[in-house]
Amino acid sequence: MAFPGRPRGRTRVRIRALRRGGELSDPITPPAARWPSEAADLVALAVSDGDLGAAVAQYEPAAALLPWAGDGGASPNGHEDNGADLLWDDSQARRPVAATMAAIMSLRLPLDVRLIAALPAAGLTMLVCERRIAGQGPDGQPVSLHGVGCTVVRPQDDGSWRIAADAWFLAQQSP
């Protein structure tokens, strides 16, 4: 006989494991891109869902991510941008994708991506994508970011595609 509100079966086992301090791994692995453009789509879905692990899984371990444009505006972390971000330097390359992605996800807004063009080359594909983040930020202020940038994806040994370099060039969009 089942009692209302009482966990049964595997759920009860998981609850017991958590009470004992046991750790449960996430049984769902993030999807892998099966073709080049799907990598950008999967990042947008993961960011929109607030799934940092799934977003970062689309990038190669040594990938570089440059989300903000150097337009003289401030990035969402409040740092004033003087335009120097248009030039890549080693300090940006050393910042982990996860940290950059977490800053973007702190806005708690959906990311829209639209593929404009795909240019395949030997061993990689360059995607030109338009990205938008719009809505009310966590502080209640309106956010409207837009950018057209490039994503370089590379095929992996298992047949999936992962991002090697990503430049979104997001900037404040005038209302």
Enclosing H/E stretch for 40: helix 36-49
Structural domains of the chain, ranges and CATH numbers in brackets: 30-172 (3.10.450.50)
- 175 pLDDT band, cuts 50/70/90, is low
Residue 27 has a pLDDT of: 67
**CB-CB contact of 128 with 168 (8 Å):** no
Task: Please return the burial class of 6, using the count of CB atoms within 10 Å of its CB with bins 0-12, 13-18 and 19+.
Answer: exposed
CA distance 146 to 69: 10
- 29 pLDDT band, cuts 50/70/90, is confident
Mean pLDDT of 42-49: 96
Res. 90: pLDDT tops 90: no
- 70 pLDDT band, cuts 50/70/90, is low
Buried b (16+ CB within 10 A) or exposed e, 61-84: eebbbbbbbbeeeebbeeeebeee
- 68 pLDDT band, cuts 50/70/90, is confident
